[in-house]
Structure 1
């Protein structure tokens, strides 16, 4: 498993990683965590390309230099992600990442001074190699394992528990590999990588497949091919108009977490419900009994216009009985989907259309 990886394994891994990376930049790039995952995948893809370009990474040629610099930047991104996952302040993520990137690049440049990777091993090169490669990898593994162990009991579904377990195994491998490489470097002197191994390819393949899971779900939601995607597309116009009218109800994505379609749908339901509650203060009085869903949609449209025109809100209107209060999330979602289907008809009313 530690021998040189054959081309028939390296090429598919590279193609898959590039496809996943491009797809994630396009569809899964909403949170700081998403951005760090995408950065790490991008730098890793360049590393794989360098190994494909010249399989002899020990020759100190241009590919080996690219491999080294992009490798330390990928590790810096992985450590930044692990820190965020472990509860670090997301507001300072970018500032921290600049510092990690600067340290990584500085270490790589120092290693490339003189004869570069062809230089004989000495104590300071060994320590520098351990500092820029093995320490960040081990630290990222420890922080990721700690976060996984903390989050696994809170997992709400089997899918989440499987994802945390897979990430835990990956982080444990990072720690073990970093400790082994550190011990080897200290006892025997630093040995720079001279080839892309089978183990490295398989680990990268596993990580790529793990990061592809949110992409597959996001692609399904974006295309509307799955149920969640269809519900998101149906609800989106109503959610967009109501949260534009009442922007203070908008929730921010959880810091350090990727935003999956199910979470996005839940947020849209909560935000739409809160916007409707706020707009009740602007709804016209209706004593005709329980309105149809189309009439209710028209009342909401009128409330949006009234708020935009600067009408005075009425607490008495907001206090009227809400026939949709107290429903569970699924029932509330079904109601909002029905309302969303009637929403275009409410927007096409002549009196409203003339004001838009």
Structure 2
């Protein structure tokens, strides 16, 4: 993208005129063409490398070297009072145009071929959009070659509109493949913040589960890694707290919750949130752990996704009046340890 930006900038007459006051205008004019060759080659190489066509990369680099050398030789042997398009021979523009047309056509073929093999819709859409944008580029190069051969320049007036459409397609081709990653990152950040109060209370009750580095030092890490760390610390704290609630208390708690109208999906998260508060209070008051065999720490499933969803539910129900009352009134049923 940087090469494309430089090439487009150098092709602007105003830029060439201003830079020509300090630099050789002939060298600037030739450089604008050579950079265009380089950015076209770079695009082909990126597409071919993404398609694992490394031999094609070497072939295109060698071809670009030959094309650039030919253009430099023709430019150097052409007598012209000042650098302008009309002063260069047709063969110069023919080499320049044919190379770019072939390069873009290769990119279109690779993009569309692999688009129909892609399973992910964002990658498929990105490749199709990029292929469509480069097809427009191919069309413009065809128009340029036609104008060189026939002198007909009436279609060149449509280039501004075509370039706008091309930019939109190429932008879509660049954005779509990373769409899922952006959505995933936003979702992870939301989950990270939603379970923060639950995580904070649990780590405060069981400090030894914290995995070394402070949260401020983790700021530079991907949010997915920070979320995974937070899930692990939350789960480990819950595993530790399970020994601070007795079987009798758990039975009493289930009977207590059965008297309340709790939606079926919220029953286990509510039960877990309740006994966590009971265990936290017991640990804070100096009660000794009493290991037992009952599994109350399944946390919704055996994988990270199901555990995360369950912890989100636990964090959500902790804000309900039932849990708030259990946290603030230790004489409620369920706090007795028998």
The TM-score normalised by the length of structure 2 is 0.46
The TM-score normalised by the length of structure 1 is 0.44
- Bigger-Rg structure (1/2): 2
| Structure with the larger RCO, 1 or 2 (CA within 8 Å, 6+ apart) | 1
